[in-house]
Amino acid sequence: MSLETGLSGKVAIVTGGARGIGRAIVETLAREGVTVNFFYKGNVEAALAVEQACQAFSGQAHAMQVDVTDPAACARAVEDVYDRCERIDVLVNNAGIVRDNLLAIMEDDEISSVLQTNLGGVFNTVRPVIPFMMSQRAGRIINLSSVAGVKGGRGQANYAASKGAVDALTRALAVELSSRRILVNAVAPGVIETEMSQQVRDLADDEVKSRILLKRYGQAQEVANAVTFLASDLATYITGQILYVDGGFKMA
């Protein structure tokens, strides 16, 4: 038996697609024949590099400068994708930030910016996408959560709260949208080798690795593989789940 993803010809939106895990998701979906519209915040050069990398293997990737904290911009961008592509099959909410600090000395902005991006950004894209997926009576929504949502870390109260809320939102949406055959899941990475985790890896490399069963960090591609699986025909009976891609983090 060969495994068919059924993704060829589908249309996706991926937020924060210009680097890190988001970039790996864009490229992996594009390799599967998906037309990928990806949002990036400000780095035009990085976004163009992703488009070019996809063109190199005849993949379809379209960069759109959209800040996920801006609800009106997200709504306009979703409309634009639908106008151009005539459907939206997959939404991947990947954009995220960290602003680590001890809570007692955490600035207001360190709390609000993390919540507005990691949680508010999901609301801002999901709301305009839902009507299109409902009328199609099909769709996949995949949110990037984190192990931090269930396994707290020092200095990460803001980030942990945002990702715990993403888990709760994922489960609630799965219930709300199931009758329209829209499947909603989250992928929760552990420590993945991207710019986001650089500081933590630099500060406590041995200590962090000692807490991972597989004794290594994850790669963006390993997270993209899980997202692609959940977007595909291989995951037609999975909804409301949090899939951990963490090498067994904090189990060691």
- Shortest distance, CB of residue 246 to ligand NAD, whole angstroms? 8
C-beta of 249: minimal distance to ligand NAD in Å? 9
Stretch that binds ligand NAD, among 11-19, 84-92, 174-182, 230-238 (CB under 6 A): 11-19
Instruction: Out of 5, 6, 41, 134, point to the residue binding ligand NAD (CB under 6 A).
Output: 41
Which member of 40, 82, 159, 217 is catalytic?
159
Asked whether position 97 contacts ligand NAD by CB under 6 A, the answer is yes
- Span from 27-35, 94-102, 127-135, 170-178 in contact with ligand NAD (CB under 6 A): 94-102
Among 11, 21, 141, 212, binds ligand NAD (CB under 6 A): 21
Burial of 66 from C-beta contacts in 10 A (0-12 / 13-18 / 19+): buried
19 or 211: CB nearest ligand NAD: 19
159 as an active site residue: the answer is yes
Q: In Å, how far are 81, 207, 211, 234, 247 from 250, measured between CA atoms?
A: 40, 11, 5, 29, 9
The residues that bridge with 90 in the sheet, in sequence order, are 12, 140
Q: Which of 7, 26, 68, 165 binds ligand NAD (CB under 6 A)?
A: 68
Give the DSSP per-residue string, 189-235: E-SBSSGGGHHHHHHHHHHHHHTBTTSS-B-HHHHHHHHHHHHSGGG
If one asks whether residue 15 binds ligand NAD (CB under 6 A), the answer comes out as yes
Closer to ligand NAD by CB, 133 or 160: give it. 160
Residue 71 in contact with residue 121, Cβ under 8 Å?
Answer: no
The reply to whether 18 sits near ligand NAD by the rule CB under 6 A is yes
- Measure the CA–CA gap between 59 and 26, rounded to whole angstroms: 10
Provide the residue type at 101 as one letter. Answer: N
Restricted to residues 185-244, the positions that interact with ligand NAD (CB under 6 A) are 189, 191-192, 194-197
Residue 35 vs 94, nearer CB to ligand NAD? 94
CA distances (Å), origin 165, targets 144, 150, 159: 11, 10, 10
β-sheet bridge partners, residue 156: none
Residues between 149 and 188 with contacts to ligand NAD, criterion CB under 6 A: none
Q: Distance between CA atoms of 8 and 30, rounded to whole angstroms?
A: 9
CA distance 233 to 252: 33
Please identify every residue annotated as catalytic. Answer: 159
Residues that bind ligand NAD (CB under 6 A): 15-16, 18-22, 39, 41, 67-69, 94-97, 117, 121, 144, 146, 189, 191-192, 194-197
